[in-house]
């Protein structure tokens, strides 16, 4: 019996040695694969970083040519939620493949910064919240074509015909609202890019009388207009959120229109 027990113990020990040798070999292979993976992932990261640096340099020279500036570098109190860089917009798709910040002409950005300072004086807890600023013509075409169920004449109420260019293409128009310090937008009674008549500043009195807009919602829109008019931005009669820095004719004379994303 003793001999049988000893025999089994020797067998178990031998098999344990084999398992240990096998597991060491497997560990060796796994370590080498891990190292290879780490090396290739580092190489991938390095090349992405290099591409980013090239892109960032390209963008810097592009901004210089177009005289555009990131508005948050001009005034950090301005919040940005670039709706077309996300799927949270009327088309429910990401429209900006590269653009991830709000750019404006330098003098337009300076005026917007003054608007923020004015708003801060009126109420230090409030901020401008930018939904869109400079928009390349290529994206303007995407939007225009997406609304092709609306006749071109009617469509022009909601989006500028790309043939005639939009002030957004020059970085001379801005879509925005007002938000609190947590970034929560004030209630304007209609959302950004809402194409219903309830979004029309020109029809606010009618909707206030019918009770479809509340007094507070109209007051919030009035506050946004007051702040923007402080620097002579002009509102559109059909979009409470859209403000032009100048006329299209002026923009065509002094600014270049941005053709593609950068
Ligand atoms: Zn707009």
Predicted pLDDT of residue 26: 53
Q: 102-116, pLDDT tens digit by residue?
A: 999 999 999 999 999
pLDDT class of 8 with cuts at 50, 70, 90? very low
Q: What separation in Å is there between the alpha carbon of 188 and the centre of ligand 1?
A: 16
What pLDDT is attached to residue 90?
A: 83
The least confident of 132-141, 159-168, 189-198, 219-228 is 159-168
For Cα atoms 216, 217, 220, give the angle at the middle one, nearest 5 degrees.
Answer: 85
Ligand 1 centroid to residue 181 C-alpha, Å: 24
How big is the chain by its Cα radius of gyration, in Å? 29
Cβ atoms within 10 Å, residue 191: 16
CATH of 67-254, one of 3.40.190.10, 3.90.480.20, 3.40.50.450, 3.30.1380.10: 3.30.1380.10
* Residue 32 burial (CB count, 10 A): 10
Alpha helices in the chain (DSSP H): 2-66, 71-74, 106-122, 137-146, 152-155, 204-210, 215-229, 248-254
Distance 245 CA to ligand 1 centre (A): 11
CA of 210 to the centre of ligand 1 (A): 27
Confidence band for 178, pLDDT divided at 50, 70 and 90: very high
Cα–Cα distance for residue pair 178/112, rounded to 1 Å: 13
46 CA to middle of ligand 1, Å?
38
Using the Cα atoms of residue 30, residue 36, residue 40 and residue 41 in order, give the sign of their dihedral.
positive
Structure confidence by residue, pLDDT tens digits, 18-75? 444 455 555 565 666 667 666 767 776 776 676 666 677 777 877 887 899 999 999 9
Other C-beta atoms lying within 10 Å of the C-beta of residue 167: 26
Ligand 1 centroid, distance to 41 Cα (angstroms): 41
**At residue 256, does pLDDT exceed 90?**
yes
Lowest mean pLDDT segment, chosen from 5-19, 43-57, 85-99, 149-163: 5-19
Which letter, b or e, does each residue of 91-125 get, where b requires 16 or more Cβ atoms within 10 Å of its Cβ?
eeeebbeebebbbbbbebbebbbebbeebbeeeee
């Amino acid at each position: 019996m003793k001999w049988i027990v000893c025999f089994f113990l020797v067998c178990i020990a031998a098999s344990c040695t084999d398992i240990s040798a096998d597991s060491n070999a497997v560990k060796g292979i796994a370590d080498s694969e891990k190292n290879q993976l780490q090396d290739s992932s580092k190489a991938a990261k390095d090349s992405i970083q290099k591409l980013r640096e090239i892109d960032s340099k390209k963008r810097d020279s592009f901004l210089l040519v177009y005289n555009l500036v990131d508005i948050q570098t001009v005034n950090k109190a301005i919040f940005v939620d670039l709706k077309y860089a996300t799927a949270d917009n009327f088309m429910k798709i990401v429209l900006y493949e590269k653009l991830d910040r709000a750019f404006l002409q330098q003098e337009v950005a300076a005026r917007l910064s003054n608007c923020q300072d004015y708003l801060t004086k009126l109420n230090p807890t409030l901020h401008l919240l930018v939904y869109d600023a400079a928009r390349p013509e290529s994206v303007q075409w995407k939007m225009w074509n997406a609304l092709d169920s609306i006749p071109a004449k009617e469509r022009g109420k909601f989006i500028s015909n790309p043939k005639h260019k939009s002030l957004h293409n020059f970085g001379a128009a801005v879509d925005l609202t007002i938000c609190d310090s947590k970034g929560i937008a004030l209630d304007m009674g209609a959302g950004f890019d809402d194409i219903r008549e309830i979004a029309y500043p020109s029809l606010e009195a009618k909707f206030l009388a019918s009770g479809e807009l509340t007094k507070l919602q109209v007051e919030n829109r009035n506050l946004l207009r007051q702040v923007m008019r402080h620097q002579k931005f002009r509102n559109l009669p059909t979009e409470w959120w859209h403000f032009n820095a100048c006329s299209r004719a002026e923009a065509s004379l002094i600014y270049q229109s941005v053709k593609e994303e950068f």
